[in-house]
């Protein structure tokens, strides 16, 4: 799951980035509105964490523009503005949650995870491919009824492939959904994780490599 943090305080921004990364999220960060606008224009996120007041303006305006353009990406406003009017304004602009500073980091992580699940809920809860079953609501994967132990990244890769069963998913798409901007697109990290995922899924193989294009999840032929 990929998250964008828009926060101008470098200390808090760094703490948020470290904590979310440490719990399995891919994280991008921005310190102002122009940078944030550039990132949401080229990347697909599972959740936005938006500080209301940044030097270049109010992120409520950015989210309003995104909603007007059809974006449904869940957003959590993180701010010191705790007046009822401020909260109402955030929700009316399309915000999904509102957390007032100071806050407990554990609560923020839980709320971000909940918002990411809300986006995932727009997809089928259970996907079946041959004898493989992926239950996104429980974050469980079973093959022939046997529960498989997958890492967060392996689960993300499999979920991304499962949302497009029978369709080729490019390496760049996998990086966009499961990693962040710190990942070198020329590295072999995707190939390494796909290889590990294949081993855990067992035989007959369910993930096929389409040379020069990417990977496809499909039932055994």
Of 4-13, 60-69, 173-182, minimum mean pLDDT range: 173-182
Q: Report the pLDDT averaged over residues 113-136.
A: 78
- Name the DSSP class of 12: H
Burial of 213 by CB count in 10 Å (0-12 exposed, 13-18 middle, 19+ buried)? exposed
Residue 70 has pLDDT above 90, yes or no: no
Question: Per residue in 115-144, is it b (16+ CB within 10 Å) or e — as a string?
Answer: bbbebbeeeeeebebeebbbebeeeebebe
Q: Strand, coil or helix: what is 71?
A: coil
CB atoms closer than 10 angstroms to residue 52: 20
What is the sign, positive or negative, of the torsion defined by CA atoms of 136, 106, 174, 48?
A: positive
Instruction: Give start-end residues of each CATH 3.40.50.2300 domain in the chain.
Output: 2-120
Residue 47 has pLDDT above 70, yes or no: yes
- The domain defined by 2-120 carries CATH number 3.40.50.2300: yes
Q: What is the 3-state secondary structure (H, E, C) of 146-209?
A: EECCCCHHHHHHHHHHHCCCCCCECHHHHHHHHCCCCCCCCCCHHHHHHHHHHHHHCCCCCEEE
Residue 158 pLDDT: 92
Domain 126-217 in this protein, CATH class: mainly alpha
Residue 160 has pLDDT above 90, yes or no: no
Q: Report the pLDDT averaged over residues 82-103.
A: 87
Beta bridge mates, 147? 142
Q: Report the pLDDT averaged over residues 36-42.
A: 90
* Token pair of 87 as six digits: 């909260």
Please state, in angstroms and rounded to a whole number, the distance separating the CA atoms of residues 177 and 153: 10
Residue 132 pLDDT: 93
Residue 10 has pLDDT above 90, yes or no: yes
Length of the chain: 221
> Tokens 């491919």, residue?
129
* Token pair of 202 as six digits: 């067992």
Please state, in angstroms and rounded to a whole number, the distance separating the CA atoms of residues 120 and 112: 12
């Amino acid at each position: 799951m990929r998250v964008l943090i828009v926060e101008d305080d470098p200390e808090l921004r760094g703490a948020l980035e470290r904590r979310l990364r440490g719990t399995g999220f891919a994280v991008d960060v921005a310190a102002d509105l122009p940078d944030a606008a550039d990132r949401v224009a080229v990347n697909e996120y599972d959740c936005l964490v938006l500080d209301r007041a940044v030097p270049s303006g109010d992120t409520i305006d950015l989210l309003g523009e995104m909603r007007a353009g059809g974006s449904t990406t869940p957003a959590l406003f993180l701010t010191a503005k705790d007046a009822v009017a401020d909260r109402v304004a955030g929700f009316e602009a399309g915000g999904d949650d509102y957390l007032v500073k100071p806050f407990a980091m554990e609560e923020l992580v839980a709320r971000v995870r909940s918002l990411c699940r809300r986006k995932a809920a727009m997809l089928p809860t259970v996907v079946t491919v041959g004898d493989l079953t992926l239950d996104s609501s429980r974050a469980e994967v079973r093959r022939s009824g046997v529960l498989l132990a997958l890492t967060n990244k392996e689960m993300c890769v499999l979920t991304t492939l499962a949302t497009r069963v029978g369709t080729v998913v490019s390496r760049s798409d996998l990086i966009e959904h499961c990693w962040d901007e710190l990942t070198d697109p020329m590295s072999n990290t995707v190939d390494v994780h796909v290889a590990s995922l294949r081993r855990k899924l067992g035989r007959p193989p369910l993930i096929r490599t389409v040379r020069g294009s990417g990977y496809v999840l499909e039932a055994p032929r």
